[in-house]
Amino acid sequence: MALDRPQWLADLSRGFKRHRQGRTGWTVEVMRDRLRVVSCELPPRRGEPADKPKRRAVTLSTPPGPATAAIALQECCRLFDLVTAGSWSWPDPDGVPAAGDPLRLAPAALQRLIARLQVVLVGERIGLDTWERTYRTYLQRLVEVAGQQPWREDQQLVEATLRSWKPGSRARQMAHDRFRRLWKEAGWSWPEELLVLRGNGKAAADPEGVRAFTDAEIEELRARLQRSSKLTPADLVAWDLLIVFGLRPAELHGLELTVEEELILARVQRVKRSSRGSSGARTVPAVPPPAWPADCHGLLDRWKRYGLPPGMVSSRSPGQALTQQLRRLRDQELVEVDLDQELTSYGCRHAFALRLAQHLGLHVREAAELMGHSPQVHLSTYGRRLDQPKLLARVRERVFRAP
């Protein structure tokens, strides 16, 4: 049998023996196309009696073969060190490895843990779309980095993954929080040293404030919508609703329009829940850009005639459909005003918020009520844009008054 042993496995065994400094009772073997370590020193599994020694086997995450022999050796040595130190235990019966398990940072183990977290969150706290957008993307990157090499410490793996995103960016902050939630689900201790990599939240905010559509960009957007051969008058209605009522894209679901004393009103039916709170149904008056006519280019009549695009209304995420439209509109020829790459459908909502303050002079509390969020959220989102002109005016006044 020894003659049939491949050379790479013999070299792996010798390297493992050198690491053990000749300590016997440990072997590495191939069983059903998987590598495993066998030893009587492995602790009993949960529920097993510990009265007599017994040969037990641990299957490695590294596949067998000459190309992976070096990685397999590192995994064997790590397992031996933990067992002899008394800090290794068998994986949790629910599929979550124990904190000392050398295999718990392997891609397969992390995938099982991610699947468990998905079961806990989706349907109870968040929807599937939210999971795909705000959890899976970040967690999958963690799995990819975990597969690049064996990782000995949590901090090393998480830090290497977080550095995939720019310092202080919103993406890095999201990734940090998602990884920490995953560690909490597993019951593993979270390295608090990683907090500095997350940033304090302020670094992720653009120093100029939110990126809103300017009036010129709004007119350019409408012109491109009307020139498009693939979009319909119903698509223009959808964008105009975002512009004049400051809606979230998802609030197009169940929307109703009415007129009271020549003022167009939108009755928003959709309820939004988030970690920052929730917003119920509300009524929002039309606040178009200053150059628009009072009837918002016949919006009510167009609403009754064309409605909204059926595909957009039936979609679980109208924002995705609007984003795709905006991406195509940016590539349209006959450009008079560039549509910045940073602009999204939310840029219409941001522009609405600025109009409420700069053109109507509404108080923060009043504007927040119309937009369906709290004054705190309103200030944290729009405070920089609203305060900067006042601040510059005060500085200019004092500079020119100085002797």
pLDDT at 130: 81
Q: How far apart are CA 235 and CA 316, in angstroms?
A: 17
Q: 2 falls in which pLDDT band (50, 70, 90)?
A: very low
Q: 223 falls in which pLDDT band (50, 70, 90)?
A: very high
Tokens matching residue 202:
């302020």
Mean pLDDT of 70-86: 89
Tokens matching residue 200:
């304090």
Q: Write down the domain spans for the chain.
A: 2-85, 107-198, 215-398
Lowest-confidence segment of 168-172, 268-272, 306-310, 352-356 by average pLDDT: 268-272
Distances in Å between the alpha carbon of 204 and those of 25, 53, 201, 379, 389?
54, 56, 6, 16, 22
One-letter amino acid of 44? P
Mean pLDDT of 347-356: 94
Q: 135 falls in which pLDDT band (50, 70, 90)?
A: very high
Mean pLDDT of 203-208: 51
pLDDT at 204: 45
Mean pLDDT of 133-155: 91
**Is 70 exceeded by the pLDDT of residue 102?**
no
Helices (H), 34-193: 69-85, 107-121, 128-131, 137-146, 154-162, 170-186
pLDDT at 219: 95
Q: Which stretch of DSSP H or E encloses residue 394?
A: helix 375-401
Q: How do residues 296-308 score in pLDDT, each as one tens digit?
A: 999 999 999 999 9
Other C-beta atoms closer than 10 Å to the C-beta of 142 total 24
Mean pLDDT of 118-122: 80
pLDDT at 136: 92
Q: Are the beta carbons of 369 and 282 closer than 8 angstroms?
A: yes
Q: 96 falls in which pLDDT band (50, 70, 90)?
A: low
Q: 116 falls in which pLDDT band (50, 70, 90)?
A: confident
Mean pLDDT of 1-13: 79
Q: How do residues 30-45 score in pLDDT, each as one tens digit?
A: 887 788 999 999 988 7
Mean pLDDT of 344-353: 93
- Architecture of the domain delimited by 215-398: Orthogonal Bundle (1.10)
Between 119 and 73, the more confident residue is 73
Q: 207 falls in which pLDDT band (50, 70, 90)?
A: low
Between 142 and 270, the more confident residue is 142
**Is 60 exceeded by the pLDDT of residue 278?**
no
Considering the chain, what is the average pLDDT of its residues? 84
Between 319 and 314, the more confident residue is 319
**Is 80 exceeded by the pLDDT of residue 293?**
yes
Q: How do residues 147-156 score in pLDDT, each as one tens digit?
A: 999 888 899 9
pLDDT at 203: 45
Strands (E), 137-281: 256-260, 263-268, 272-274, 277-279
Nearest by Cα to 284 from 304, 268, 308: 268
Between 228 and 60, the more confident residue is 228
CB contact set of 346 (below 8 Å; sequence gap of 6+): 248, 249, 319
